[in-house]
Amino acid sequence: MSPRDVPRSVRDRLVVAPEVAEAVRDGRPVVALESTLITHGLPHPSNLEVARAAEAAVREAGAVPATVAIHDGWIRVGLDVASLVELAGLQPGTARKASRPSLAAALVAPGWAGTTNVPFACWPIRPFARNTSHEVSFPAAV
C-alpha cells in the first residue's frame, strides 16, 4: 500500500457489511454488538455459539446485527459467518483489545482486535445518516 492509499481518517477505515448499510439506508434498526466476548470473554467454541446466539436474538427482535471488530486496520461493522468463525477460533492472546484509548494501536497492528465495550461498538454505527441519494454518508470529522 502506497502512502497515497493509506486511509486518512477513522471514517475512511470503516468497512460496513452490505446488510448493515442497507438497513441504515432504509431506516431499519441496527444493533451494534461488541466482539471482545468472542476474542477475550469466552473459550472456543462457546464464544462462537454465544456470538451466533446474540446475532440470532437481534434478528428475532426485528433488527440487523452488526458485530464490530477490527481486522488488519479496518473497522468492520457487521461480520459475516466466516469472519465470526475466524475471530472465534483465534489462539488465546492473539487478538488485541480495542477501545477508545487503544484504537490507534489496533488500527496499525496486523490481525484482529475485538472491540471492548458497547459505547465503542456503537460508535461506527452512529455516524450513518440518510441522504437524498439513498447512499450511506458519514460526517466529515470523527
Query: Would you state the pLDDT for residue 134?
Result: 37
Instruction: Give yes or no for residue 97 having a pLDDT over 80.
Output: yes
Q: Which domains does the chain have, with CATH numbers?
A: 13-127 (3.40.1790.10)
Instruction: Give yes or no for residue 28 having a pLDDT over 90.
Output: yes
Residue 125 CA to residue 56 CA, distance in Å, equals 19
Query: Would you state the pLDDT for residue 4?
Result: 59
Give the pLDDT band (50/70/90) at residue 48: very high
Residue 116 CA to residue 81 CA, distance in Å, equals 20
Instruction: Give yes or no for residue 130 having a pLDDT over 50.
Output: no
Q: If DSSP codes are grouped into helix, strand and coil, which group holds residue 111? A: coil
Give the pLDDT band (50/70/90) at residue 128: very low
The long-range contacts involving 128-133, CB below 8 angstroms and separated by at least 24 positions, are 128/21, 128/24, 130/24, 130/25, 130/27
- Average the pLDDT over 98-121 and give the result: 80
For residue 111, what is its C-alpha cell? 490481525
pTM: 0.79
